[in-house]
Structure 1
Amino acid sequence: MSKIDRLDIKQLRVFQALIREQNASKAASQLGMTQQAVSEHLKKLRDVFDDRLFLRKTNGFVPTPFAEELYIGVDKLLNDFKALLAPSSFEPQTISGTFVIAATDYAQQVVLPELIAKLRLQSPNLKLIVRDFEIDKLHDLMQSGKVNLAIAFPDYIPDSYPVVRLFEEHHVCVASPSASIAQSKPSLAEVANYPSIIASPSRPNFKGSIDDWFKQFGLKRNIVISAPCFSVVPMYLETTDSIAFLPSRALNNLGLKEIALEQSPDKFDVIAAWHPRYSDDALQKWVVSLLRENE
């Protein structure tokens, strides 16, 4: 009997689930199978591919290098099967399953509320997971299928990924109305020297996204606080005599004072991106179309 005759789709689905979950119990739960059944399928897969595929660790499995390479082809094959069996017309109200979105703190505030409202209204059986954007793990998460869609800024996304531009954004210099700088008309040099708070959600450091813009004028910012997300910066501004540069769409109803500048920072795009493997997936295309409605 040839190797291909010893394979079936269920075994490949078990392999896919094990790669994603790296835990037999979680994979079994996802597939609606017993853990023993998952182990039996894994045993057959090991025999077919002549590789251990997964090595045990304290709380689950870790894939072998061969399994990681094999996964790319298996995942594509299963998606092709899924597309083959999909109805000719896409009906959002009949869709079930889980869709995972990785979004920056900013996107969670500005983009997702409206998107989630549309998804809940038009596809009530679809479950959604929103997770924080992890720039260092993004490619692995999207390649393994643990994240379906990413919403962030262009610099955060691999060049090989398909993207759609959602809108153009710009930074605004803000402070608490009680801050001393709010009572004056500062020069750009004075703004650079003023104590500044940045949001650095991807990496904890004192480097901000507009540092290069200040360098054009021979200036370096006086950054004194690095926060993990945009949402906490307004609270820090209220309790410190400092400034921050925040995206304009995240400032509604925060009670902050805009500091007028001699020059305006460069504008930037907010985008959505996905792994190339899912470009033809009907659900993926539909979710992206909802995002594009407000371009």
Structure 2
Amino acid sequence: MSKLDRLDLKQLRVFQALIQEKNASKAANQLGLTQQAVSEHLKKLRDVFDDRLFLRKTNGFVPTPFAENLAIGVDKLLLEFSALLSPTVFNPETIEGTFVIAATDYAQQVVLPGLISQLRKKSPKLKIIVRDFELDKVNELMESGKVNLAIAFPDYIPDSYPIIKLFEEHHVCVTSPKASIANKTPTLAEIASYPSIIASPSRPNFKGSIDDWFKKFGLKRNVVVSAPCFSIVPMYLETTDSIAFLPSRAITSLDLIEIALEESPDSFDVIAAWHPRYNEDALQKWVVSLLKAE
């Protein structure tokens, strides 16, 4: 009997669940199987592929390098099988399931309200999970299928992933109407020395993307507060005599004053990205088309 004859679809689904969950019990729950059944399927998979596939650790499994490489092909194969059983015409109104979006704090404020509104109107049976964008885990989450779409900035996304540019954005210098610098026209040197608040959602520190821009002028910012997200910064500005550089679309309708600058910071792109395995997935293509139309 050939190896192909010893392999069936259920075993591949067990393999995919184990890659995603890294835990036999969780994989069993995902598939509606017993843990013993998962173990039996894993035993057959190990025999077919002549590899351990998963190594035990304290609270689950760690995939072997062979298993990690195999996962890409298995995901693609299962998607193709799924396509065979799906209607040839994609209908958003009847599509069911869950779509997971990882988005930066900024994208959650600016991009997702419009997208989620569209999804709820056009695909009412589709459930949506929005999770924070985790820079250190984005590749792992997208490769494992735990995230379908990421909305962030180009530097945050692996080069091998397909992307679309949503729009171009730029930072503006803002402060509270009560701040001592409000309604003034300070020099860049005065801006650099003024107490500044930054948003550092990826890693908690006192460095921001604007620092390199200031270096061009031989200046260093006086950063006094580092916040974990953009959305909280306006509240801190309200209670402190300080300034912040925030994306222009994130301050619409807020009670903030924009400070005119001698020079403008470099613009940057806001993008959407996904794993290459979803290039031909009908739901993925449709969601991306909604973003393009925004």
- Give the match for residue 124 of structure 1: 124
1:129 corresponds to which letter in structure 2? I
Residue deviations 1:96-151, cap 9 Å, x none? 12111110000011111111111122112212111111112111111111111100
Q: Deviations over 1:75-102 (max 9, x none)?
A: 1211222223332211111211211111
2:152 is matched with which residue? 152
Q: How many Å separate the matches in 2 of 1:69 and 1:272?
A: 25
Alignment of 1:75-114 (within 5 A): 75-114=75-114
Greater than 4 Å deviation, 4+ residue runs: none
The residue type paired with residue 215 of structure 2 is K
Q: Measure, in 1, the Cα distance between the counterparts of 2:27 and 2:175.
A: 49
Contact 2:183/2:259 (CA < 8 Å) preserved in 1? no
Q: Give 1:165-176 correspondences, 5 Å limit.
A: 165-176=165-176
Q: Would the aligned equivalents of 2:53 and 2:64 in 1 still touch at CA under 8 Å?
A: yes
The question of whether the paired residues in 1 share the 8 Å contact of 2:53 and 2:66 is answered with yes
| Secondary structure at 1:244 match in 2 | strand
Residues 233 and 128 of structure 1, relative CA distance in 2, 3 Å threshold: same
1:135 match: 135
Query: Which residue of structure 1 aligns with residue 280 of structure 2?
Result: 280
**Stretch of structure 1 that moved more, 160-169 or 7-16:** 160-169
Structure 1 residue 59: Cα displacement: 2.4
Task: Give me the identity figure in percent.
Answer: 81
Q: Secondary structure at the match of 1:99?
A: strand
- The 5 Å alignment of 1:1-295 reads 1-294=1-294
Q: Return the alpha-carbon distance in structure 2 between the equivalents of residues 124 and 37 of structure 1.
A: 35
Whichever residue aligns with residue 258 of structure 2, its letter is E
Secondary structure, counterpart of 2:13 in structure 1: helix
Which stretch of the first structure deviates more once superposed, 137-146 or 282-291?
137-146
CA distance in 2: counterparts of 1:157 and 1:265, whole angstroms: 22
Q: Give 3-state SS (helix, strand or coil) of 1:246's partner.
A: strand
The 3-state SS of whatever aligns with 1:197 is strand
Instruction: Give the secondary structure class of the aligned counterpart of 1:52.
Output: coil
Offset at 1:55? 2.1
Q: Determine the C-alpha separation between the residues in 1 that align with 2:213 and 2:100.
A: 34
Does the 8 Å contact 2:97/2:127 carry over to 1?
A: yes
Shift of 1:50: 2.1
CA–CA distance in structure 2, aligned partners of residues 273 and 26 of structure 1: 28
Q: Residues 1-59 of structure 1: CA distance to partner in whole angstroms, max 9, x if unpaired?
A: 11110000111011001100112222222222222222221121122122222222232
- The more displaced of 239-248 and 118-127 is 118-127
Letter in 1 for 2:207: K
Report the 3-state secondary structure (helix = DSSP H, G, I; strand = E; otherwise coil) of the residue aligned with 1:180: coil
The 2-side partners of 1:27 and 1:98 are apart by 17
Please give the alpha-carbon distance, in whole angstroms, between the structure 2 residues aligned to 1:125 and 1:37.
31
Q: Secondary structure at the match of 1:174?
A: strand
Shift of 1:183: 3.9
Q: Deviations over 1:212-249 (max 9, x none)?
A: 22122221111111111101111111121110000111
1:237-272 Cα deviation digits (max 9, x unpaired): 112111000011111232111111112112111110
Secondary structure in structure 1 of the residue aligned to 2:181: helix
Q: Number of residue pairs matched?
A: 294
Q: CA RMSD in A?
A: 1.3
Q: CA deviation at 1:169?
A: 1.1
| Alignment-mate amino acid for residue 254 of structure 1 | L
1:92 and 1:30 mapped to 2: Cα distance?
Answer: 25
| TM-score of the aligned structures, taking structure 2 as reference length | 0.96
